[in-house]
C-alpha cells in the first residue's frame, strides 16, 4: 500500500455512493463544499479524494503507526461529514479537516504497541550495501520514535511544515497561532530532535 494513499474509502465512514457525474473536471472546492453541506455525497467523495493523502501523512507522523493513522483519518472524515452543515467556511476545507485530524491524534487513547515499520525491500538485506540499508532503516525508526517524543505543540507544527508541506502561514491557520510562532516551534522541534538523536548508533 502506498503510504500516501490510505485505504480510507471514498466517504464518511462507509463512503458516499458515487463520484461526481460526468467526465468533466471536478468543480472548484468551494462549490464541492457547498454541495456536500447540502448532503451531496458525491461532492464529499471528491473532497475525500483531494485531501486523504495529506491527511494520512499528517496522521502517520503524529501517531507513528499505519493502523492508528488510518483510524484517525477515517474518524476525521466521518466527523467532517457530520459537522459540514455547521461549517461556516471561515477557513478552507483542507485547513478545517487537518484541525480535525490533529484533534484526533491528540485525543488518541490506545494501548501502546510497537511502531510499524514502513515496507522495505527484503532483497536489500542480501546484496552488497546491506549494512548501509539496515543502518538507514534503524535511523529512520529512531527518528520516528524521536518525533513521537516531542511535545504536541512542537510535533504538530513540525509534521505539518516538514512532512506535509504546509507553509508557516498555513501552519499558523491550522493551529491558531502566529506565523512567527510556527517558525519558532518548528525550530525548537528540530533542535529537540537533534538532541534526541545525537547518541544514536
CATH code, 150: 1.10.10.10
Shared domain check, 155 and 200: yes
Note the pLDDT tens digit of each residue in 122-168. Answer: 333 333 444 556 666 777 788 888 899 899 999 999 999 998 989 99
* Residue 23 neighbours by CB under 8 Å, 6+ apart: none
| Residue 165 belongs to some domain of the structure | yes
Shared domain check, 99 and 35: yes
| Residue 113 belongs to some domain of the structure | no
Report the CATH number that the domain containing residue 55 is assigned in CATH. Answer: 1.10.1740.10
| Residue 119 belongs to some domain of the structure | no
CB atoms < 10 A from the CB of 2, how many? 9
Shared domain check, 156 and 99: no
Shared domain check, 133 and 101: no
The Cα angle at residue 158 between residues 153 and 164, in degrees rounded to 5: 125
| Residue 137 belongs to some domain of the structure | yes
Shared domain check, 77 and 136: no
pTM above threshold 0.75: no
Shared domain check, 40 and 7: yes
* Range in 58-72, 81-95, 136-150, 151-165 with the lowest mean pLDDT: 136-150
Shared domain check, 153 and 73: no
For residues 129 and 24, the model is more confident at 24
Name the domain count of the chain. 2
Shared domain check, 99 and 16: yes
Shared domain check, 84 and 12: yes
The pLDDT value given to residue 57: 94
Residue where a domain terminates, one of 81, 108, 135 = 108
The pLDDT value given to residue 41: 94
Please give the residue range of the domain that contains residue 75: 1-108
Residue where a domain terminates, one of 76, 108, 140 = 108
The cell for 53 is 493523502
Mean pLDDT for all residues in the chain: 78
Cell 511502531 maps to which residue? Answer: 115
| Residue 114 belongs to some domain of the structure | no
| Residue 92 belongs to some domain of the structure | yes
Q: What distance in Å separates the CA atoms of residue 95 and residue 86, rounded to the nearest whole number?
A: 15
Shared domain check, 87 and 40: yes
Shared domain check, 102 and 3: yes
The pLDDT of 167-190, averaged and rounded, is: 95
Q: What distance in Å separates the CA atoms of residue 108 and residue 198, rounded to the nearest whole number?
A: 29
Shared domain check, 101 and 5: yes
Amino acid at each position: 500500500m502506498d503510504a500516501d494513499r490510505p485505504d480510507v474509502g471514498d466517504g464518511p465512514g462507509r463512503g458516499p455512493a458515487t463520484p461526481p457525474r460526468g467526465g468533466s473536471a471536478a468543480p472548484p472546492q468551494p462549490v464541492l463544499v457547498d454541495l456536500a453541506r447540502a448532503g451531496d455525497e458525491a461532492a464529499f467523495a471528491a473532497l475525500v479524494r483531494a485531501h486523504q493523502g495529506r491527511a494520512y501523512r499528517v496522521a502517520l507522523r503524529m501517531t507513528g503507526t499505519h493502523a492508528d493513522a488510518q483510524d484517525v483519518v477515517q474518524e476525521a472524515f466521518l466527523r467532517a461529514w457530520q459537522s459540514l452543515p455547521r461549517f461556516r467556511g471561515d477557513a478552507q476545507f483542507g485547513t478545517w479537516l487537518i484541525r480535525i485530524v490533529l484533534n484526533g491524534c491528540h485525543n488518541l487513547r490506545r494501548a501502546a504497541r510497537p511502531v510499524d515499520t514502513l515496507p522495505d525491500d527484503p532483497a536489500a538485506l542480501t546484496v552488497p550495501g546491506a549494512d548501509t540499508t539496515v543502518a538507514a532503516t534503524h535511523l529512520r525508526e529512531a527518528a520516528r520514535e524521536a518525533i513521537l517524543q516531542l511535545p504536541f505543540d512542537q510535533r504538530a507544527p513540525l509534521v505539518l511544515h516538514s512532512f506535509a508541506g504546509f507553509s508557516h502561514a498555513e501552519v499558523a491557520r491550522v493551529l491558531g497561532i502566529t506565523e512567527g510562532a510556527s517558525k519558532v516551534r518548528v525550530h525548537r522541534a528540530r533542535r529537540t530532535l537533534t538532541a534526541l538523536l545525537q547518541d544514536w548508533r
